[in-house]
Amino acid sequence: MENVQELKVLLKEKGYKLTPQRRAVLNMIMDNPGKHLTTEEIYDLVKVQCPDIGLATVYRTLQILNEMDLILKINLDDGCSRYEYNIHQDDHEHHHLICTDCGRIVEVNEDLLDSIERQIEKDYDFSITDHKVKFFGLCSKCR
């Protein structure tokens, strides 16, 4: 979303205004690609720019941006919701490698599961709409 005007129109369609605080939250996520920030981390970063922003506003803004598919909500089984910019503007969450030792998160660029989906659809007579995959293990530094 490079275009502020475009973002304004998108928000307006949903009945929301592009407040400086909402803009700051989205900017923070866009400026931190691959970081998978938690709500609290985003709050701490945005607070520097917008000292009077509250955690509830950040929380609500993340919900709105997620609803609009501008950001993705990621659950990495560590007890908190993380967010990242939805570069491809699609509903499909890319896959992550999670180091169980240092917590490092690596994004997997390839999505090799299309053939598996087709196989499962056939074998189980099930129409698949999405999948989420996490790989747990040790990164190169932790072995």
* 128 touching Zn ion, by CB under 5 A: no
**Residue 22 or 82: which CB sits closer to Zn ion?**
82
Distance CA 132, CA 11 (A): 27
Start-end of H helices in the chain: 4-13, 20-30, 39-49, 55-67, 114-124
Distances (CA, A) of 42 to 10, 27, 84, 120, 135: 22, 10, 10, 38, 25
Can residue 142 be called a binding residue for Zn ion (CB under 5 A)?
Answer: yes
Q: For residues 12 and 92, which CB has a smaller minimum distance to Zn ion in the complex?
A: 92
**Which of 107, 121 has the CB closer to Zn ion?**
107
Residue keyed to tokens 């993705």: 72
Q: x-or-dash pattern for Zn ion, window 91-120, by CB under 5 A? A: --------x-xx-x--x---x-x-------
Residues found near Zn ion in the complex (CB under 5 A): 84, 99, 101-102, 104, 107, 111, 113, 139, 142
